Chains A and B, each alone.
Chain A
Amino acid sequence: MTASLNTSPNLDDCDKVYEALINAHNDLSDDESSKLNARLILLLINHIGDEDVIMEAIMAAKTTSKSV
């Protein structure tokens, strides 16, 4: 399989983007936060648009969890 999920650093200013992600959750209840994440994931997967990349990302996310 051709690796299609880009797992190398890909952001010019990663600290800034990470900060924006965290700040988006400021003052939100756990519930609201979860909803925000759900909307964000849906927006991003549509933007990515490549089924293989998305499947790989799901697998990568599943298999890097410490608790499993």
Chain B
Amino acid sequence: MSFDGIPVYKKKTYKKAPELSRSSTKRRPFVVVGSGPIGLALALFMAKKGHEVLILTAFDFIPAGSKGICYSKEALDIFDQLGIGKRIVDKGVIWNVGKVFWGDSPDPVYQFDMLPVKNQKNPGFVNIQQYYVEDYLVDALEAMENVEIRWGHAVTDLDVSGTYARLNIHTEDGDYELDTDYVLACDGSKSTIRHLMGLDFEGRIFEDSFLIADVKFKQSRPSERWFWFDPPFNRGRTALLHKQPDDIWRLDFQIGWDADREQAIKTENLAPYIKGMLGDGVEYQEDWLSVYTFQCRRMKNFVHGRVIFAGDAAHQVSPFGARGANSGLPDVQNLSWKLDLVLRGDAPKSLLQSYDIERTRGADENILNSSRSTDFITPKSKNSTLFRDAVLELASEYEFARPLVNSGRLSAPTPCYDSPIATMDEEEFPCGPRPGDICPDAPIERDGKAAWLLESLPDGFCLLHIGEQELASDLPVLALPCEGLVAERYGSNMSYLVRPDNIVAARWRNPEPKQIMQAYAKATAQDGA
């Protein structure tokens, strides 16, 4: 089944908008546009905080192309907050090890571990088709009474000249208008809303194309990421192999900028690549084929008054670091708590500006990493190729060159150390996450039972206190004894002010209640700064 050439994973029900039969409509505090992973996650965050949520989406289905398959530890922690983490990890394929091969040698030149810090609840990465992620998010949203998803409702116009935003929405029953205070634009890389506002991206487009073949076959291979430079089955170029659930494997071949895309995905042209990688005898079925090109760029700002962008609508990266959805998810985890406080009147609107600063910074780091990987994978000049090959040559013999091999620096948290809402350290601490860092996980004991630190943090802002002395505060406190990995990772006799997105806002040794309240005020933009 397909729609406009987009394959369908699950059909959803279009419903006529009530606005089409009613003349006056109520203004909504916010509307989410887009039902990709980012719009859905944002909607679920807001719904869980008790808001009335409306999602508008052009599609009336969940698309079948598996697109984003690698979800990072950070993304899994976010899915945990959303209540679907277990479902994703149970269905997904867990992997931590990546191997890089070069030329004809069956031995890797380099190998890396995606979870260098062990003893955390979630693994370094889980592979799962994007449609499962979207499906689980939709399930969770459909189970909530305060959520309405309007499938097949496309935003076609936008007016932000007044004191609120007016959207024009196209449906099969006709067009209607909807007023809202905030438009949350999660409408993907081709964002209609970005175009309607005359905004654009800044950054680089890379001249290369890659062929993706998601194929089904049964072979016992390790759950590892395998990457080849110059393999015999794709000379002078690269290839990638990844395991997905349901015996589906992601095969990715660099085919060059001039490749004929229509030809490339024809069964007879694909076969030599697949057999070259997996062996002549392999029997496989094609599941999803696609050719992609990519860009590394972002919008200058994500917050434009009443219109706020997140996910691919705001920034794009090459797929090599799996930094697409994995960076959109922290966007909406960040945005949702701020918008929640603003809508409740518990924080001024200026708090939203910190979303812009923190997440454009995050996007820059993702773009930097993914551009560097791309320059290694697709060298732009003879000299660049020369150095790349020299690195690979040296790597088989010398340890020092192995970390230089860049087949994609996989998605990792992007801390923002100079955030305007972080309270800087006033003294030096020997260890632990700094203000701006995301909290590391650790095994803990609660009520005599084994638990994980991150899942035990109270909702909203809280204090994480590691120490024997009691800590008095109006904020909820998670107090843990100075022992084990918690003390190792956070230090002893330390108190951390942790934001709802698990980012450290401030930290101290024996803080006064006043210091805590000042840091809280700063973290919620109530300090008048």
B389 near A43 with CB under 8 A, answer no
Q: Cβ of A4 < 8 Å from any Cβ of B?
A: no
B400 near A46 with CB under 8 A, answer yes
Contact among B386, B398, B400, B401 with A35 in the assembled complex (CB-CB below 8 Å): B386
Q: Cβ of B391 < 8 Å from any Cβ of A?
A: yes
Q: In the complex, A41 Cα to B401 Cα: how many Å?
A: 12
Residues of B within 8 A of A34 (CB): 383, 386
Q: Cβ of B394 < 8 Å from any Cβ of A?
A: yes
Q: Cβ of B429 < 8 Å from any Cβ of A?
A: no
How many interface residues does chain B have, given as a range?
A: 10 to 19
Q: Cβ of B393 < 8 Å from any Cβ of A?
A: yes
Q: Cβ of A16 < 8 Å from any Cβ of B?
A: no
Q: Cβ of A66 < 8 Å from any Cβ of B?
A: no
Residues of B within 8 A of A38 (CB): 383, 386-387, 389-390
A42 near B394 with CB under 8 A, answer yes
Residues of A within 8 A of B393 (CB): 35, 39
Residues of A within 8 A of B472 (CB): none
B386 near A43 with CB under 8 A, answer no
Q: Cβ of B404 < 8 Å from any Cβ of A?
A: yes
Over the window 103-142 of chain B, the binary record of Cβ atoms lying under 8 Å from chain A Cβ atoms (1 yes, 0 no) is 0000000000000000000000000000000000000000
Q: In the complex, A41 Cα to B386 Cα: how many Å?
A: 12
Closest-by-CB residue of A relative to B399 is: A46
CB-contacts of A16-68 with B (<8 A): 34-35, 38-39, 41-43, 46
Q: In the complex, A43 Cα to B387 Cα: how many Å?
A: 12
Closest-by-CB residue of B relative to A49 is: B400
A35 near B404 with CB under 8 A, answer no
Q: In the complex, A34 Cα to B398 Cα: how many Å?
A: 20
Residues of A within 8 A of B401 (CB): 42, 46
Q: In the complex, A26 Cα to B180 Cα: how many Å?
A: 74
Q: How far is the CB of A60 from chain B (nearest CB, A)?
A: 18
Closest-by-CB residue of B relative to A47 is: B400
Over the window 375-418 of chain B, the binary record of Cβ atoms lying under 8 Å from chain A Cβ atoms (1 yes, 0 no) is 00000000100110111011000101100100000000000000
Q: In the complex, A38 Cα to B393 Cα: how many Å?
A: 11
Residues of A within 8 A of B404 (CB): 42
B400 near A39 with CB under 8 A, answer no
Q: In the complex, A46 Cα to B399 Cα: how many Å?
A: 11
Residues of B within 8 A of A41 (CB): 387
Q: How far is the CB of A39 from chain B (nearest CB, A)?
A: 5
Closest-by-CB residue of A relative to B389 is: A35
Q: In the complex, A46 Cα to B386 Cα: how many Å?
A: 17
Q: In the complex, A34 Cα to B383 Cα: how many Å?
A: 8
A42 near B391 with CB under 8 A, answer yes
Residues of B within 8 A of A42 (CB): 387, 390-391, 394, 401, 404
Q: A42-B394, A42-B404 are in contact. List 14 more A-B contacts (CB 8 A).
A: A34-B386, A35-B386, A35-B389, A35-B393, A38-B383, A38-B386, A39-B394, A42-B387, A42-B391, A42-B401, A43-B398, A43-B400, A46-B400, A46-B401
What are 23 residue pairs bridging A and B, where the CB atoms are less than 8 Å apart in the complex?
A34-B383, A34-B386, A35-B386, A35-B390, A35-B393, A38-B383, A38-B386, A38-B387, A38-B389, A38-B390, A39-B390, A39-B393, A39-B394, A42-B387, A42-B390, A42-B394, A42-B401, A42-B404, A43-B394, A43-B398, A43-B400, A46-B400, A46-B401
Q: Which residues of A contact B (CB under 8 A)?
A: 34-35, 38-39, 41-43, 46
What 7 A-B pairs have minimum CB-CB distances, sorted nearest first?
A38-B390, A46-B400, A39-B390, A38-B386, A38-B387, A34-B386, A42-B390
